[in-house]
Amino acid sequence: MLLLFVLLLGLGLGFYWYKHPKNKIQAVPHNFQWHTEKPLPIRPFVNKRNFNPSIGIKNISDQPENWLLIENTYLSNITIRRKHLEANPHQTMQIPDNERTVAALCEFYNLVTGFLTARYPKLFLHGWTGKLHNEITNDDIPFKADPSNPREMCNALGRTIEEDFLILMKDNPDNKEEEYILRAAVNAFPAGFDPSKSYNKPISAIHGPVPQYASRLAFSMHKFFNNLKQGDIWVRHNWSIQTHNQHFNLDSNHGRPGQEVKKIGFDEIDFEQGCFLRVERQAFLRLPNSGAIVMTVRTYLTPMPQIKKEGLGPELCRAIDSLPEDLAYYKKRDAWGEAVKQYLMK
Ligand SMILES: *[C@@H]1O[C@H](CO)[C@@H](O)[C@H](O)[C@H]1NC(C)=O
Ligand SMILES: *[C@@H]1O[C@H](CO)[C@@H](O)[C@H](O)[C@H]1NC(C)=O
Ligand SMILES: *[C@@H]1O[C@H](CO)[C@@H](O)[C@H](O)[C@H]1NC(C)=O
């Protein structure tokens, strides 16, 4: 009898452990204060030798707790996100509409709420009412995914994490040739493109405008996605410069073929408040049940004076000059290049 009890208890605990992989996520230190947590100083151009586009991706699977971040920008950014989500629901949210993709969204949703309570136990509380309580915004969202309401799930995620996300799936998961297709997304901070144009498109179509995509990136990305192991997390960064202060940008950040790039004068730029290094921290992982790939994107806007203060002016100038022509055009270097360099060297 006792043996049976012990056996059952063991099984129960084992099952709980298996079902709650968040146990692997280490909580932040006891004295963690979100409002003093400085944004990660990601400066991808520093010491970089080759500026051709590359996938440049790093395995951070041994620190899964660094997947989604809460930093001192949380409240202000979440407030901005909510505004964009409300004002542009179609452009910011791709709501899945079939069972398979809704199931993947549910899986992602549960992963996020589980992660937040495990990583930030004082900021995100799983109450007995079945809600996830957000101590920073004083907001409640359902703790568990609700497959009957994918729109509300997208909304809740968009209002809770600073990261945008994309869920990519194949129609036939076993087909190695097939590309991943964008099936669900929240994109409150697009960097110069209209996210709704990518809905239900394969990765290659989404990256069509990226210079050298076909020659340098397509193959390695395809391979990377096919081989992405469940349980692994990979991170990559990319950067550009923008001469306005909006996160939400549908088309002005990038040069497109046939478009004339107009040079902006030094005096036309507000370097103190209207010129930023824009960095994306992209993370990739595979959802265990659906096999879908999730990409989360965290956007950093760092004011130019900060870069200068860090002593990185000359290094950023070098990076600006080192961009290959096609990438320079894509990043609109002809518009801001001279003026930004003049500011950085002053
Ligand atoms: C990524 O890192 C984890 C943990 O260090 C390791 O177990 C895994 O095999 C790595 N993935 C690949 C594809 O190398
Ligand atoms: C980063 O790369 C993606 C393509 O992978 C592009 O759409 C985005 O605009 C880039 N962001 C920045 C800040 O350069
Ligand atoms: C949003 O957060 C990023 C860092 O995550 C920061 O660079 C940016 O300035 C923030 N924006 C606001 C308005 O707080």
The ligand that comes nearest to the alpha carbon of residue 232 is 1
Q: How confident is the model over 242-246, as a mean pLDDT?
A: 83
Pairing mode of beta strands 131-134, 276-286: unpaired
Tokens representing 28 are 């932040």
Residue 234 in this model has a pLDDT that exceeds 60: yes
Tell me, using a 6 A CB cutoff, whether residue 60 lines ligand 1: no
Could you give the percent of the chain with pLDDT greater than 70?
A: 89
Retrieve residue 52's tokens: 């051709």
CA 224 / ligand 1 centre spacing (Å): 13
Q: Is the pLDDT higher at 177 or at 346?
A: 177
Short-list 231, 295, 259, 247, CA closest to 59:
231
Q: Position of tokens 């003049």?
A: 342
238 alpha carbon to ligand 2 midpoint, in Å? Answer: 6
Query: For atom 1 of ligand 2, which residue has the closest CA?
Result: 238
Q: Is 240 close to ligand 2, i.e. is its CB under 6 Å away?
A: yes
Higher pLDDT, 297 or 49: 297
Say yes or no to pLDDT of 3 above 80.
Answer: no
What is the domain extent for residue 114?
2-26+59-344
Q: Domain for residue 174, yes or no? A: yes
- The overall average pLDDT reported for the chain is 90
Highest-pLDDT range among 26-40, 214-228, 259-273: 26-40
For residue range 114-170, list pLDDT tens digits in order.
999 999 999 999 988 899 999 999 999 999 999 999 999 999 999 999 999 999 999
Place of tokens 């899986």: 107
Query: Which secondary structure element, helix H or strand E, spans residue 150, and what is its range?
Result: helix 150-158
Using 50, 70 and 90 to split pLDDT, how confident is the model at 17? low
- Pocket of ligand 1 contains residue 174 by CB under 6 Å: no
**pLDDT tens by residue, 288-336:** 999 999 999 999 999 999 999 999 999 999 999 999 998 998 888 999 9
Cβ atoms of 124 and 203 closer than 8 Å: no
- Please indicate, yes or no, if residue 272 is contained in any of the structural domains: yes
Q: Is there a contact between 193 and 251 (Cβ–Cβ < 8 Å)?
A: yes
Helix (H) or strand (E) holding 283: strand 276-286
Other CB atoms within 10 Å distance of the CB of residue 225: 17
Please report the pLDDT score of residue 255 as a whole number. 62
| pLDDT of amino acid 12 | 64
Q: Assess if residue 114 is contained within a domain.
A: yes
In this structure, what is the dihedral angle of CA atoms 13, 14, 15, 21, given to the nearest 10 degrees?
100
Residue 54 lies in a domain: no
Q: Could you write out the DSSP letters of every residue in 45-63? A: TTT----S-----EE-TT-
d(CA 78, CA 160): 7
The predicted pLDDT at position 116 comes to 98
Pocket of ligand 1 contains residue 61 by CB under 6 Å: yes
Q: Quick check: 203 and 33 in contact, CB under 8 A?
A: no
Is 36 a domain residue? no
Q: How many angstroms is it from 233 CA to the middle of ligand 3?
A: 23
Residue at 328 is within a domain? yes
- Mean pLDDT over 218-238 rounds to 93
Select the more confidently predicted residue: 193 or 323. Answer: 323
Q: Which of 70-79, 89-98, 205-214 has the lowest mean pLDDT?
A: 205-214
Percent of the chain residues topping a pLDDT of 90: 73
- Among 68-82, 88-102, 194-208, which is the least confidently predicted range? 194-208
Would you say the pTM of this structure is higher than 0.95? no
Is residue 31 assigned to a domain? Answer: no
Structure tokens, 259 = 């478009």
Q: Give 54's contacts (C-beta < 8 A, 6+ positions apart).
A: 216, 217
Q: Decide the pairing of beta strands 124-126 and 131-134.
A: antiparallel
Residues 6+ apart with CB under 8 A from 82: 158, 159
The closest residue, in CA terms, to atom 7 on ligand 1 is 61
- The one-letter amino acid at 214: A
Weakest-pLDDT range from 29-33, 110-114, 124-128, 337-341: 124-128
Q: Which two tokens stand for residue 235?
A: 């991170």
Question: Does any domain span residue 48?
Answer: no
Q: How far is the CA of 77 from the centre of ligand 3 (A)?
A: 6
**Is residue 73 over pLDDT 60?**
yes
Do residues 300 and 39 lie in contact, with contact meaning Cβ atoms separated by under 8 Å? yes
pLDDT of the residue at 215: 79
The alpha carbon of 9 and the centre of ligand 2 are apart by a number of angstroms equal to: 50
End-to-end CA distance of the chain: 81
Contact in structure between 216 and 54 (CB atoms under 8 Å): yes
What integer pLDDT is reported at residue 22 of this predicted model?
42
* Cα–Cα dist 293/179, whole Å: 12
Selection from 240, 257, 236, 238 nearest residue 326 by Cα: 257
pLDDT of residue 1: 66
Residue 11: pLDDT band (50, 70, 90) is: low
Q: Which residues contact 12 (CB under 8 A, 6 or more apart)?
A: none
Count of structural domains, the chain? 1
